């Protein structure tokens, strides 16, 4: 029996589209951040406030992923940014093919930074590459400080973590130092931003990080 050595990795269809998206972003010199969290942690609220705070400094576009509805894309447009909504019809994460078609619908040349708001889920989207520049995780304090330890995949892969809803810290038992320590055990290089999309607390540091990232 002959054994054939295959030196080249066979890519899945998703990986092929992810590679195409990555190439497209590199060619157009655009940054793309894939935002991942549980439903309701505040991704859209964070994006809306980020768009408002960076108006005139960074031109932001958003690809919105949800199982159903155009609600989040409308919230982003109301904040003053271009948004394309993808409905996954039940799928628990966005695919690179969906992002590929959404990128064609955004006015990419007029943008500095593209956010992808993935389907609300801490698990499936973490391992599905979309060709993004980096992943950004969001954890909100009512979810509990044990989530990095219980759902390590996204916290290990993200370039930044927003700990959102810090305005609610007094009302819930969330030990922010424990959460930070658990995240740092998984990922020493991650940037952690405690924020409140409601009050704007912590947005100075987060927006400065985005300005640095985009070279603005």
Ligand X SMILES: Nc1nc2c(ncn2[C@@H]2O[C@H](COP(=O)(O)OP(=O)(O)O)[C@@H](O)[C@H]2O)c(=O)[nH]1
Residues 147-186 that bind ligand X (CB under 6 A): 164-165, 167-168
Contact flag: residue 50 with ligand X (CB under 6 A): no
- 33 contacts 133 by C-beta, under 8 angstroms: yes
Given ligand X, Mg ion, none, residue 165, with its beta carbon under 5 to 8 Å by kind, binds: ligand X
How far is residue 82's CA from residue 42's CA, in Å, rounded to a whole number? Answer: 19
Contact flag: residue 194 with ligand X (CB under 6 A): no
Tokens 């916290």 belong to 155
Contact flag: residue 42 with ligand X (CB under 6 A): yes
In the complex, the residues that contact Mg ion under the rule CB under 5 A are: 43-44, 72
Contact flag: residue 135 with ligand X (CB under 6 A): no
Q: Provide the CA 140 distance to its chain's centre, in angstroms.
A: 14
DSSP class per residue in 50-105: HHHHTTTT--EEEEEEESS-SHHHHHHHHTT-EEEEEE-TT-SS--HHHHHHHHHH
Residue 113 CB, nearest approach to ligand X (Å): 18
Residue 48 CB, nearest approach to ligand X (Å): 8
- Residues near ligand X (CB under 6 A): 37, 39-45, 120, 164-165, 167-168, 196-198
């Amino acid at each position: 029996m002959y054994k054939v050595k295959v030196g080249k990795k066979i890519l899945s269809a998703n990986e092929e589209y992810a590679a195409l998206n990555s190439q497209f972003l590199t060619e157009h010199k655009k940054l793309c951040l894939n935002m991942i969290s549980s439903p309701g942690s505040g991704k859209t609220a964070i994006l809306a406030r980020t768009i408002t705070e960076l108006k005139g400094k960074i031109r932001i576009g958003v690809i919105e992923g949800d199982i159903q509805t155009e609600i989040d894309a409308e919230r982003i447009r109301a904040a003053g940014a271009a948004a394309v909504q993808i409905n996954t019809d039940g799928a628990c994460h966005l695919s690179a093919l969906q992002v590929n078609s959404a990128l064609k619908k955004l006015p990419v040349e007029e943008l500095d930074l593209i956010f992808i708001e993935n389907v609300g889920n801490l698990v499936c989207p973490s391992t599905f590459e979309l060709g993004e520049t980096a992943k950004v995780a969001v954890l909100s304090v009512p979810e509990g400080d044990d989530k990095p330890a219980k759902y390590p995949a996204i916290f290990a892969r993200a370039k930044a973590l927003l700990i959102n809803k810090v305005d609610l810290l007094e009302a819930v038992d969330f030990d922010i130092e424990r959460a930070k320590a658990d995240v740092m055990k998984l990922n020493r290089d991650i940037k952690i931003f405690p924020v409140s999309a409601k009050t704007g607390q912590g947005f100075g540091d987060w927006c400065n990080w985005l300005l640095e990232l985009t070279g603005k």
